[in-house]
A and B are shown apart, each in its own frame.
Chain A
Amino acid sequence: MSDFAGMEDLLQDFLQEAHDLLSDVDNKLVDLERMPEDKRLLNDIFRGFHTVKGGAGFLNAAELVTLCHLTENLFDRLRNGEMHLTPELMDIIMAATKGVRDMFGELGQGVQPRPAPEDVLGGLRRALEDDAAPAAAPPPVAAAESVAAAAAQEGPDWQALHGAVTGTMTAQPAASTEVIAKVDTAPQSASPPPYGRRGTDKPGAPEKAGAGRRVEERAATRENTIRVDTSRLDQVLNLSGEIGLMKNRLTSLRADILAGKTDSETLHALDQAVSQLDLLVSDLQNSVMKTRMQPIGRLFQKYPRIARDLARQLGKDVELVLSGEETEVDKTMIEDLADPLIHLIRNAVDHGVEDSEERLAAGKPSKSVVRLEARQEGDHIMLIIADDGRGMSAERIRAKAIEKGLISEEEANTLDERQSLHLIFLPGFSTKTQVSDVSGRGVGMDVVKTNIQKLNGNIDIRSEPGKGSVFIISLPLTLAILPVLLVLLGDQPFALPLSLVREILPIEHEKLQEVGGKATLVVRGEILPVVSLAKLLGWPQDQPPEYGVLMQTSERSFILAVDNFAGRDDAVIKSLEDFRPKGVAGVTTLSNGQIVLILDMKELLSDLGQQAGMDGRGSSMRALEFS
């Protein structure tokens, strides 16, 4: 077994690129099922396997070469019209693709792949043999003749050419597979050590032991690499250079000022330098943030295959349509989104859409469409998973939740349509009595919601019975920098995520109205509840709050009553590692060095939600008493 000493970089590059290639192949295979004769698709898939084979050869991954080679041959026949795609063949191809992916996994752990499963290899070989007979045989005689003809011609150095391949080339018109077999085995036996092995790398026991450790290390760190467009890195470099220059300018100004030179010209220069530094730093922050941004298409590309496999398993006809793949999302977020999205897609295919008969009976086209869309809206990323299936009935969901003992009948009666749909996010809720082995994998929608909330995101549902359901996930652009509004309770500042703030208004106490025992304020005809921040935090309310911050979450709008506000700031969030009080998302440092808590409005409001929403009409929610 070979380690990859001296080839780690090459291996990493290969894996990253080959993974992308294979995902692309996967998607094209899904398309191919619909258009089995599409030459362009066949050619692209052929090229995918071909390219992987070429790279695998340099890594000495003989088994990967063999598997890709057989699959490639199959596609060569297919694209030349010498064979035709059958469902059985498709299954073999899918199994082969999976085999290639498994081998990538082994390579990723630094071990040479084991041979592909015998049924896969056997299947490929049989498929090739079955069809090899008349059509596929190359015209050997003609080829030999043209060799001679070419050699006779003035022009290319034909001898060097044919020598480049194998000695057997012109000797006999062997079947093409034999020639290839010779070429493929050559590197392992006869040739000098291939590229990447340095001359100094001597195989030996200590070396092997070291390699083992390296393998483990690498397995752990593999996901920590990122591919960044060089132009973006150049921008970062450029900006940090300029900041360096600005620092020099400030150092010299400091020397001047410390020496007592405080004339207006110097101070003006200082003012200018600081504002320029301000601009440069925010540019740098943006640029650095952008290096972490990756097109979400990388995540999306594996889903059509998952949807296809699942649909096939369930005997449904489902097409997953992707859009907005170029939308860029923070890399860590992409990783954390993988599971929730898979869950939602599985859900859509399994529970969301009906089988063909049911659809036809309902007057819908037999093929169902699940849409996965990403787009940027302002400083938010929206992810939408929509199906055109049977939709969800608020009535049934309520009944289910009562049956499962998640809510009481009384509570259920107070819920509107949307709140009812949100019941599916409660732990322990599943609309299917029988959990299928497909969607039900021990994680429920509550885990999806928790995962999205961990990313400071929101998930919302819309559903129309008979027409389908839509899940809408909204996420911040990045987790690193959060624009905040600083509000004051007494002298103590708190930071609120600016994305939730709609406007700031003075609270005129004579305009406060009590509706159903709750303090409300009418803003341009909209009746909004007024919530005191002091009350949410459990602080004493010394004086009536003077300002209201109109905030909007996906669930509700409300006015947060505060004493005053201190402006906005771009907070760099420091998370509180082991200690996380409820309602606090993290801390940040203000320009004057003061430490400020960043409030997690959703968590603070979840208390409110339980009181206001679930407990019934204001029974436990008392009006805010300001005086």
Chain B
Amino acid sequence: MPDPKMKFLVVDDFSTMRRIVRNLLKELGFVNVDEAEDGAIALQKLQAGDFDFVVSDWNMPNMDGLTLLQTIRATPNLKHLPVLMITAEAKKENIIAAAQAGASGYIVKPFTSATLSEKLQKIFEKMDKGA
């Protein structure tokens, strides 16, 4: 079981959505959650704090989720971070782009706490294997 103290960063420009994701994470036992409004702010927070997990929306102003993901993967001290992409975008091209950029998982809105849990589990398993 993953550490419940794991620190999550939820990135979305829609505060209602951040709250939804935060509450879903809480239901799963993760209470150490911070939020960012767009990719640029997220990067700043990631550089400043010891985050363990990023959950990011795709479509955002300033810096979108894909760019954020690519930047994380290109930054030596961040590239190990698991990044779960959450978006209403269900097009193949997007999913492929996310996969190629190194996303750890991809969820299409709307989703349930069960779906989120399942995706997180998959990522945790993979992290354990990698460790």
Contacts A54-B110, A57-B110, A146-B100 known; 17 new A-B pairs at CB < 8 A: A13-B15, A13-B16, A46-B59, A47-B61, A50-B88, A50-B89, A54-B14, A55-B14, A55-B16, A143-B92, A150-B100, A157-B126, A160-B105, A160-B119, A176-B91, A187-B110, A195-B110
Hey, what's the 0/1 contact readout for B37-60 against A, CB within 8 Å counting as 1? 000000000000000000001011
Known: A50-B88, A165-B90. A147 touches B114 (CB 8 A): no
B110 touches A194 (CB 8 A): yes
Q: Is B74 an interface residue (CB 8 A)?
A: no
Chain B interface category by residue count: 35 or more
* A-B CB contacts (within 8 Å), total count: 121
A195 touches B90 (CB 8 A): no
A55 touches B17 (CB 8 A): yes
A156 touches B103 (CB 8 A): yes
Q: From A55, A57, A156, name the one whose CB has the most chain B CB atoms within 10 angstroms.
A: A156
Residue from B88, B98, B100, B123 within 8 A of A57 (CB atoms):
B88
A164 touches B23 (CB 8 A): no
Cα distance A473–B111 when bound, in Å?
49
A58 touches B102 (CB 8 A): no
Q: Is A192 an interface residue (CB 8 A)?
A: yes
Residue from B20, B91, B103 within 8 A of A138 (CB atoms):
B91
Cα distance A192–B117 when bound, in Å?
13
Q: Is B80 an interface residue (CB 8 A)?
A: no
Q: Is A398 an interface residue (CB 8 A)?
A: no
A54 touches B106 (CB 8 A): no
28 chain-A/chain-B pairs, Cβ below 8 angstroms: A10-B16, A10-B20, A17-B16, A46-B59, A47-B13, A47-B60, A50-B89, A58-B109, A138-B92, A143-B96, A146-B100, A150-B99, A150-B100, A157-B122, A160-B119, A161-B98, A161-B99, A161-B106, A164-B95, A165-B90, A169-B95, A179-B90, A183-B108, A191-B111, A191-B115, A192-B112, A194-B110, A195-B23
Cα distance A46–B100 when bound, in Å?
24
B103 touches A161 (CB 8 A): yes
Closest to A40 in B: B61
Q: Is A53 an interface residue (CB 8 A)?
A: yes
Hey, what's the 0/1 contact readout for A157-173 against B, CB within 8 Å counting as 1? 11011101110010000
Q: Is A193 an interface residue (CB 8 A)?
A: yes
Set of chain A residues within 8 Å of B16, measured between Cβ atoms: 10, 13-14, 17-18, 55
A492 to chain B, nearest CB (A): 54
B92 to chain A, nearest CB (A): 5
Set of chain B residues within 8 Å of A14, measured between Cβ atoms: 16
Set of chain A residues within 8 Å of B20, measured between Cβ atoms: 10, 55, 58, 195
Beta-carbon contacts under 8 Å, B73-131 to A: 87-93, 95-96, 98-100, 102-115, 119, 122-123, 126
Set of chain A residues within 8 Å of B126, measured between Cβ atoms: 157, 160
Q: Which 4 A-B pairs have the closest CB atoms?
A: A57-B110, A54-B88, A183-B90, A54-B109
A143 touches B99 (CB 8 A): no
User: What count of chain A residues pass the 8 Å CB interface test?
Assistant: 42
Chain B interface residues toward A at CB < 8 A: 13-17, 19-20, 23-24, 57, 59-61, 87-93, 95-96, 98-100, 102-115, 119, 122-123, 126
Known: A160-B122, A164-B119. A44 touches B61 (CB 8 A): yes
Cα distance A405–B14 when bound, in Å?
57
Q: Is A51 an interface residue (CB 8 A)?
A: yes
A150 touches B96 (CB 8 A): yes
A180 touches B91 (CB 8 A): yes
Cα distance A160–B107 when bound, in Å?
10
Set of chain A residues within 8 Å of B96, measured between Cβ atoms: 143, 146-147, 150
Set of chain B residues within 8 Å of A21, measured between Cβ atoms: 14
Known: A58-B109, A179-B90. A17 touches B15 (CB 8 A): yes
Residue from B92, B98, B113 within 8 A of A169 (CB atoms):
B92
Q: Is A206 an interface residue (CB 8 A)?
A: no
